[in-house]
Amino acid sequence: MIDDLWYKNAIIYCLSISTYMDANGDGIGDFKGLERRLDYLHGLGITAIWLMPFQPSPMRDDGYDITDYYGVDPRYGTLGDFVEFTHGCRQRGIRVIIDLVVNHTSDQHPWFKQACSSRDSAYRDWYVWSNKKPANAKRGMVFPGVQKSTWSRNKQCGQWYFHRFYEFQPDLNTSNPHVQAEILKIMGFWIQLGVSGFRMDAVPFVIATKGPKVRKPVEQYDMLRSLREFLQWRKGDAIILAEANVLPNSDMEYFGRDGDRMHMMFNFHVNQHLFYALASADSRPLAKALAATKPRPATAQWGMFLRNHDELDLGRLTKRQRNAVFRAFGAKKNMQLYDRGIRRRLAPMLGGDRRRLELSYSLMCTLPGTPVIRYGDEIAMGDNLDLPERNCARTPMQWSNEAHAGFTQGERPSLPIIDEGPYGYEHVNVAKQRRDPNSMLNWTERIIRMRKEVPEVGWGDFKIIATGDPAVLAIRYDWRNDSVLFVHNLKDTPREVTIDVGLPKPVNQLLVNLLSEKHSRADRRGKHCLLIEAYGYRWYRCGGLDYLLKRSDIDAEGARSHPT
Ligand code: GLC
Ligand code: CA
Instruction: Give, using CA atoms, the residue closest to atom 8 of ligand 1.
Output: 310
Q: Answer yes or no: is pLDDT of 4 > 90.
A: no
Q: How far is the CA of 14 from the centre of ligand 2 (A)?
A: 19
- For residue 310, which atom of ligand 1 is closest to its CA? 9
Which residue intervals of 62-158 are DSSP H helices? Answer: 79-91, 110-117
CA distance 23 to 409: 8
Does residue 456 contact residue 475 with C-beta atoms inside 8 Å? no
What number does the ligand 1 atom closest to the CA of 143 have? 10
Q: Which of 14, 57, 59, 61 to mutate to test the pocket of ligand 1 (most atoms within 8 A of CB)?
A: 61
| Mean pLDDT along residues 1-5 | 77
pLDDT grade for 555, boundaries at 50, 70 and 90: confident
| Cα-to-centroid distance, 250 and ligand 1 (Å) | 21
Share of residues in the chain with pLDDT > 90 (%): 96
The catalytic residue among 243, 251, 358, 469 is 243
Are the beta carbons of 539 and 484 closer than 8 angstroms? yes
Which whole number is the average pLDDT over 481-488?
A: 98
Q: Is 202 in the pocket of ligand 1 (CB under 6 A)?
A: yes
| pTM to 2 decimal places | 0.97
CA of 409 to the centre of ligand 1 (A): 30
Closest ligand 1 atom, residue 165 Cα:
6
* Nearest-atom index, ligand 1, CA of 61: 10
Q: What is the pLDDT of residues 138-183, one digit of tens each?
A: 999 999 989 999 999 999 999 999 999 999 999 999 999 999 999 9
Give Cα separations from 409 to 19, 400, 406 (angstroms): 14, 12, 7
Ligand nearest to the CA of 65: 1
Query: Residue 208: CA atoms inside 13 Å, Cβ hemisphere, count?
Result: 20
Asked whether residue 491 carries a pLDDT value surpassing 60, the answer given is yes
Q: Is the CB of 61 under 6 A from ligand 1?
A: yes
Average pLDDT over all residues of the chain: 96
Contact 187, 200 (CB under 8 A): no
* pLDDT for 563: 42
Q: How close is the Cα of 420 to the center of ligand 2, in Å?
A: 24
Residue 556, pLDDT above cutoff 80: no
Going from the C-alpha of 485 to that of each of 17, 250, 469, 502, the distances in angstroms are: 37, 29, 16, 11
How many angstroms does the Cα of residue 82 sit away from the middle of ligand 2?
14
**Mean per-residue pLDDT, 442-465:** 98
pLDDT of 474 higher than 90: yes
Q: Which stretches of 386-471 are assigned E, i.e. beta strand?
A: 461-465
Q: Give the 3-state secondary structure of residue 15.
A: strand
pLDDT above 70: residue 220: yes
Q: Quick one: CA torsion of 264, 270, 272, 278, rounded to 10 degrees?
A: -130
Question: pLDDT tens across 231-243, in order?
Answer: 999 999 999 999 9
Cα–Cα distance measured from residue 475 to residue 477, given in angstroms and rounded to the nearest whole number: 7
Closest C-alpha residue for ligand 1 atom 12: 64
Q: What pLDDT, on the 0 to 100 scale, is given for residue 557? A: 63
- Coil/strand/helix, residue 285: helix
Pocket lining: 389 vs ligand 1, CB cutoff 6 Å: no
Question: Best mutation site among 201, 309, 390 for ligand 1, i.e. most ligand atoms within 8 A of its Cβ?
Answer: 201
**Nearest to residue 14, comparing CAs of 372, 436, 415?**
372
Q: Determine the Cα–Cα distance for residues 124 and 147; give it in Å rounded to an integer.
A: 24
| Cβ neighbourhood burial of 122 (10 Å; 0-12, 13-18, 19+) | exposed
Give the amino acid at 554: I
pLDDT at 558: 53
Distance 395 CA to ligand 2 centre (A): 15
Q: Which residues contact 426 (CB under 8 A, 6 or more apart)?
A: 401, 419
Question: Which of 73, 99, 171, 201 is flagged as catalytic?
Answer: 201
Cis upstream peptide for 506 (omega within 30°): yes
Specify whether the backbone of 78 is left (phi greater than 0), alpha (psi in -120 to 50) or beta.
beta
* 3-class state of residue 21 by DSSP: coil
Q: Give CA–CA dist 235/6, Å, rounded.
A: 13
377 carries an active-site annotation: no
Sort 524 into a burial class: Cβ within 10 Å, 0-12 / 13-18 / 19+. exposed
310 lines ligand 1 (CB under 6 A): yes
Helices (H), 118-163: none
The average pLDDT across 391-406 equals 98
Contact 49, 12 (CB under 8 A): yes
pLDDT in tens, 335-344: 999 989 999 9
Backbone torsions φ then ψ of 2, nearest 5 degrees? -65, -25
User: How far is Cα 482 from Cα 460, in angstroms, rounded to an integer?
Assistant: 9
- Ligand 1 center to 265 CA (angstroms): 15
The H or E element that residue 313 is part of is: strand 312-313
243 is catalytic: yes
**Could you tell me if the CB of 482 is within 6 A of ligand 1?**
no
- 307: CB partners within 8 A, 6+ apart: 345, 346, 374, 377, 393
Ligand nearest to the CA of 103: 1
Is 132 a residue whose pLDDT tops 50?
A: yes
Mutate to test the pocket of ligand 1, among 165, 172, 203, 391 (most ligand atoms within 8 A of CB): 165
Contact 50, 97 (CB under 8 A): yes
Residue closest by Cα to atom 5 of ligand 1: 64
Strand, coil or helix: what is 241? strand
Distance 433 CA to ligand 1 centre (A): 32
- Nearest Cα to 469, choosing from 493, 497, 494? 497
What Å distances lie between residue 381 and 290, 384, 429, 442, 526, CA to CA? 28, 10, 8, 14, 44
- If you take atom 9 of ligand 1, which residue's CA is the nearest one? 310
Cβ proximity of 69 and 55 under 8 Å: yes
C-beta 275 within 6 A of ligand 1: no
Among protein residues, the one with the nearest Cα to ligand 1's atom 6 is 64
Any bridge partners for residue 370, and if so which? Answer: 303
Separation of alpha carbons 153 and 410, rounded Å: 41
